[in-house]
Structure 1
Amino acid sequence: MHMTPSAAPRPTSLIQAAGLSYFPIALVARLPFAMVVVGLLTLVVSARDSLALGGVTAAVTGLGTAMFGPLLGAAADRFGQRRVLLCAGLANSLLLVAIAWLAFAPVPDAAVLAAGFLIGASTPQVAPFSRSRLVGIIARAIDPARRDAVVSGTMAYESAADEIVFVFGPVIVGVLAATLDPVAPVLGAAALAVVFVSAFALHPSARVEAGIREGSPAPAPARELTRVAAPVVGALGMGLFFGTMLTSLTSFMADRGIAEQAGVVYGAMGLGSAALALGVAAFPARFTLGARWIVFAAILVAGTLVLPFVSSVVAMTLTLLVIGVGIGPTLVTQYSLAAHRSPAGRSSTVMTMLGSGIVVGQSASTAVAGIAAEYLGTDTALTLPFLAAVVVLLAGIVDAAIAPRRQVRFGN
């Protein structure tokens, strides 16, 4: 008598479904991007003896990432993450090696800027692709009754992972540049991209985001991406905040003769942000995503409101700790909402749209805040994070007003 094999049991956790090796690989694969902007700044300033050129190079790198990130996401949705990551990772590594030579070569500054832009354009979108990949695994492998909670916990972990690499990335750059050579961080990022971005691309979990197969449903029309307009605007607001906050804080610390310590004080905000981001998974279901966005964005607004009145480094550090409480949960909520509303077959595109929103906001606001600090003073520059926080809050309020009243469960 022929026996039909029983269906395989569902994995009990995302770690089991994705594989234990996935998480360390995906974490380290983010490091090259976290190292590149600061690494290029350090390299160009050392090679060309021009802080202005170094800053512009870092800016055009961010511009390239912002412009081409969503295109790489759309390519991954169509052709699969594996092909896109392998091609982008190889191109990015070769360009990093190229700029390490160009910076010292007798070529015009425009050649360095062009290389910086191409490096940004070819940056492997590891963080957005990881979010998209894990959301796909959850939809296929996790029990429907648990999917909402697992998505929320996953976005919390992903935001904390981003915080970790963007704290340690610049630290690694500083150590390599100080102990070896200013070229070392750039070549190190290239080597990490070859090894770990390739490992991330070739990991078995990449089959979840394998692109459009013959006979599979066509992806949703591009116009349906308007579903995630509010989270994208919210992410843009967060980018505006990051750029204005770091630049105005640097001006604040420079006024006290300790500009080099700005990164340490800024880290206080990351500490509060990462801790609360991880805590989002413990929030009760009745504390809805829309309510979370508004509550924590309001904390962000309240914290930034007092920045122009802060007069000591200790008070600034404490204020940034409070502000951090609002950042982590807000970012997690924006990505969770985007995951819930992502049109069919457009997950990688959506996640790269949010990531690009942050990069665009950060790049543009860094320049504006720098001009404000230089020509109008630190107090004026310290009002800009408040305006950025208001953008985040307003986007959350608009989203809550236009969102459907019925609860939409993930994966249904």
Structure 2
Amino acid sequence: MVGPYRGLFSTPGVKGFVIAGFFGRMPMSMLGLGIVLLIEALTDSYAMAGAIAATVNVSYAVATPLNGRLVDRFGQARVIVPLTLAHGTALTGLMLCARFQAPLWTMFATAVVVGTTAVSLGSLVRARWSHLLAGSAKLHTAFSFESVADEVIFVAGPASVTALATMVNPYAGLVTALTCTVVGTLAFAMQRGTEPPVRWTGKRSGSPITIPGIALLSCVFLAMGAVFGSVDLITVAFAEEHGAKHVSGLLLAAFAGGSLVSGLWYGARQWKISLRSRFLRALGVFAAGLTPIMLIGDIRIMAPMLFLAGLAISPTIITGYTLIERLVPAHLLTEGMSWVSTSVGFGVALGAWAGGRLTDVFGASNAYGFSFTCAVLAVLIGAAGSAWLRTPVPQKQS
């Protein structure tokens, strides 16, 4: 299974941007959960915690395509360095507002800035792979590797931030996330040798979201993001209901662990069926895998069931990014990939808000029904517009 991945790192400079990109986007699995744990510890309300986390995600979702367009126009380093410095300052401000019990509006205001200045580093890493491997069969393997790296982050991040916030200090998880963001992203920006060249034409060429296939994928990933956001928050509440809040990170790690395993397997295979068929099948498996978690009341059984529920995540995301790479013109690629982050961000915000409300009113086990409903909605949207996902097969390079 590891064999196909070995040849990815022979290109000069690849190891540098891969390692920096990994650490720079580590906080994507830590930031939202760290905010939820901190705010819930201060207010004893999952609804309030979910609202502030949702504010970050909505702001991130709104700003990401705009930031992606700036990257396409001016280059990666010139855009992400000032954004990262502003993000670090805003996240520090959010923690200070919480620490000194500033008025509630100040936490929401700083949360807006935190989200607006967050860098979609995963999109930038994949844009570099697309630049280096355009037209090559290795691009599928590279996207698979990045999805696996994402899932390693989602295995390690929730467990780490939960342990730090519950066993060390409520702020410790966010401080760690802040450090990874600043150091990793600035190190990524310094890797100039693999940075894609600016292909801006100087003319208005529209936005990738006007491409029907991209609009469809954005709607699908919106629904998937709602699953992710709701499962994250509901699982923390589920663990607390069973007197084991400290293991909530491990439960979420099991969810990501299923995706990690399937990502390794998926990327190692050479597929003969079309991208469109793979995408739809993965969505169906994703919805089916979420069914059991609505029926479980034992925390020991929940971990393996979450693992099974996560098995379809990586194949869906890998195929989605590959579809975008085929559908979007090269000079708009960063913005095109940013729409995945935007859609997931909006979905996570919706899921965190709805998950918090439903958990407070109906309890965690019943709130998982929302997650399942969103997964089914993703399947229906994908199936209804699947004709827009037909793509030409690119000519392969050696």
Q: TM-score, normalised by structure 1?
A: 0.84
Q: Please tell me whether residue 67 in structure 1 is matched to residue 59 in structure 2.
A: no
Match of 1:238 in 2: 224
1:363 and 1:393 mapped to 2: Cα distance? 20
Q: Which amino acid aligns with 1:88?
A: L
2:301 and 2:168 mapped to 1: Cα distance? 36
Match of 2:140 in 1: 152
Indicate conservation of the 8 Å contact 1:240/1:365, yes or no: yes
Q: Please tell me whether residue 331 in structure 1 is matched to residue 317 in structure 2.
A: yes
- SS at structure 2 position matched to 1:163: helix
| CA RMSD in angstroms, aligned pairs only | 2.9
Match of 1:4 in 2: none
- SS at structure 2 position matched to 1:21: helix
Q: What are the within-5 Å matches in structure 2 for residues 175-254 of structure 1? A: 175-177=163-165, 181-205=169-193, 207-210=195-198, 212=200, 218=203, 220-222=205-207, 224-254=210-240
Could you list the per-position Cα deviations for residues 174-205 of structure 1 after superposition, in whole angstroms to 9, with x for gaps in the alignment?
45446764444444433333322111112124
Q: Please tell me whether residue 162 in structure 1 is matched to residue 150 in structure 2.
A: yes
Aligned length: 390
Q: Which runs of 5+ in 2 are unaligned?
A: 1-6
Q: Which has the higher contact order (CA 8 A, sep 6+)?
A: 2
Matching residue within 104, 114, 118 for 1:109: 104
Indicate conservation of the 8 Å contact 2:33/2:233, yes or no: no
Structure 1 residue 249: Cα displacement: 3.8
Match of 2:273 in 1: 287
2:64 and 2:74 mapped to 1: Cα distance? 15
Match of 1:7 in 2: none
- Residues 1:378 and 1:111: Cα distance change in structure 2 (over 3 Å): closer
Matching residue within 344, 349, 370 for 1:363: 349
Matching residue within 332, 342, 359 for 1:373: 359
Could you list the per-position Cα deviations for residues 81-100 of structure 1 after superposition, in whole angstroms to 9, with x for gaps in the alignment?
11111110111112223233
Structure 1 residue 268: Cα displacement: 2.1
Match of 1:408 in 2: 393
Matching residue within 76, 81, 84 for 1:81: 76
Q: Which moved more, 1:265-274 or 1:395-404?
A: 395-404
Q: Which amino acid aligns with 2:270?
A: P
Q: Which moved more, 1:377-386 or 1:65-74?
A: 377-386
Structure 1 residue 385: Cα displacement: 2.4
Q: Which runs of 5+ in 1 are unaligned?
A: 1-11
- SS at structure 1 position matched to 2:11: helix
Q: Which moved more, 1:161-170 or 1:112-121?
A: 161-170
The structure with the larger Rg is: 1
Matching residue within 335, 339, 343 for 1:349: 335
Indicate conservation of the 8 Å contact 1:133/1:205, yes or no: no
2:107 and 2:85 mapped to 1: Cα distance? 19
- Residues 1:410 and 1:183: Cα distance change in structure 2 (over 3 Å): farther
Structure 1 residue 339: Cα displacement: 1.5
- Residues 1:73 and 1:284: Cα distance change in structure 2 (over 3 Å): same
Structure 1 residue 123: Cα displacement: 0.6
Match of 2:161 in 1: 173
Q: Which amino acid aligns with 2:184?
A: F
2:101 and 2:348 mapped to 1: Cα distance? 31
1:60 and 1:125 mapped to 2: Cα distance? 17
1:334 and 1:111 mapped to 2: Cα distance? 37
Q: Which amino acid aligns with 1:316?
A: M
Could you list the per-position Cα deviations for residues 190-230 of structure 1 after superposition, in whole angstroms to 9, with x for gaps in the alignment?
33333221111121245314353xxx575743265433122
- SS at structure 2 position matched to 1:199: helix
- Residues 1:18 and 1:396: Cα distance change in structure 2 (over 3 Å): farther
1:368 and 1:206 mapped to 2: Cα distance? 41
1:283 and 1:130 mapped to 2: Cα distance? 22
1:63 and 1:47 mapped to 2: Cα distance? 22
- Residues 1:410 and 1:252: Cα distance change in structure 2 (over 3 Å): farther
Structure 1 residue 358: Cα displacement: 1.0
2:170 and 2:243 mapped to 1: Cα distance? 25
